Structure 1
Amino acid sequence: MYVARDWKDYELIDTGAGEKLERWGDVILRRPDPQIIWPLEKETGKWREVHGHYHRSSAGGGEWDMKKQLPDRWTVSYDKLKFHIRPTNFKHTGLFPEQAANWRWMMDKIAAANRPIKVLNLFAYTGGATVAAASAGADVVHVDAAKGMVQWAKENLALSGLSDRPVRFITDDVFKFVQREERRGNKYDAIIMDPPSYGRGPGGEMWKLESSLYPFLESCMKILSDNPLFMLVNSYTTGISPTVLNNMLSMTVSRKYGGSISAGELGLPITTSGMMLPCGILGRWES
């Protein structure tokens, strides 16, 4: 398991009965998590003193019950990186803190390369990986189909004091963007992707991970440089094993470039119990 241990502005305080208790800066939130199938031992103290509690609806979706007044958004820091946090209608906050394990890894890889590195971040959301890669000195192209998420990512880059870095923000269907980059002859030294289980592009394009991921990886192979540094695939799709990502990377990038592959779970430490919460999977290829 790849564990994001070095947060100061985020803490997974406790878990149980399908919910997690988190600290985001000075704000305490209570949110559902389908991985938490063990009981809640004591619903006392901070569990009852939250700023906001997200309740799922039996009809689907859910809503926030705000117990205390919150600003529209606030800021958390990871190392020198800064991010805006805002509770959304879909329980998320705009950041997945477990991804810090990947941010640290890619920052170290880029800094140690001692050469210019061009990174492509696909399904890039609010830009955690974009900000991390830019902070390490990479040129970055950030692509997401949701205009609002791209704007949020721009704000995170500025918040981190990196507006002068060479970062391009693009709102587009990632599959079509990669195909156009191939036709243009553009190449990248590193590719990051965090594909959803299901999705639609701006023109209604359908994405289903089980049928779309492998052909998409094959397309990405065509825009890797002759000397690539890494490829990172994240997944939060239920039922997909890290071994699946390992196998796909073995059949694509490793077959052509050699290198090494590592795959496993992403996790967060739980303060109260000392246990780990699994938060998705990853597959990493590196030269």
Structure 2
Amino acid sequence: MNKYDCIIIGGGPAGLSGALALGRARKNVLVLDDSRPRNAVTHEMHGFLSRDRIKPSEFRRIAKEQISEYPTVQFAAETAVSVEGSDGEFMITTAQGQTYTSRKILFAIGKKDIPLPIAGLSDVYGKSAFVCPYCDGWELQDQELVIIAKGAGAFHLAKMIPGWSSRYAICTNGPDELTEEEREELRQHGVPVYDAPIRSIVSNDGKVERVELEDGTSVSCTGIFFAPQLTIGSELPASIGCEMKETGSVITDALGRTNVPGVYCAGDAGTEMYQAIAAASTGAMAAMSINGELLMESWNRSNY
């Protein structure tokens, strides 16, 4: 059985960036990816230098094509279901029945959406409803918007959205969970807040037209920003003993190292900063740290 220097679980920006760095460092790498990225719902990636407005599938295609020029990197369209072992001797089993061994592991498993119980939201998600103004605010600039969030999340978005549009309202889909000070500040800035439950989001071919509330109120809009509910893309980090945050992210240091020796994490799985370009950066940094660790281990094994 071939032992890899590193197995990367996940083939998004973090995993692909890590594979590129390790491939260029002449390390034997296997990338396991089931091709179910969270950004598959979107038509375009935004804010990624030299790749602004590219389709997510095209981004991955180009990345794999370029990485494939490095012969020590392999890809397998498989889903990792178990990880066992310890630093230097990890064993990964996939849903397809394959078993692989590796010296190091890089989790680049991302996050996944927990569907929100709002009728019509899935019809507009990725088309006219988004979660990040930095990613999609430009496309909705100066439009009539609705923020679907409550509490601190709603208040935070309310202060961000004016960078793209001054025409917006907040629908909290139930009790707003705002403080009285926050409510007063929103009133002073002329931001309408509707706390009735949402009956449905009305749209046409993915383009939102209005948000209808249970009390009969109809809030017109052509775009939505909402606070998602996320969970980590896989339970594998926790299964091998990685410490986790309350948010569901893996706890890492600045180089992607977890508390488990030989196990690294990069991208959305280890942060709440959900940007493709940031994920790619953390993937590269983790890969360099992994390479450094492998080099030191080889150095220390050398006979003089």
Structure whose alpha-carbon radius of gyration is higher: 2
Q: TM-score, structure 2 length as denominator?
A: 0.30
By relative contact order (CA 8 Å, sep 6+), the higher-ranking structure is: 2
Looking at secondary structure, tell me which structure has more strand per residue: 1
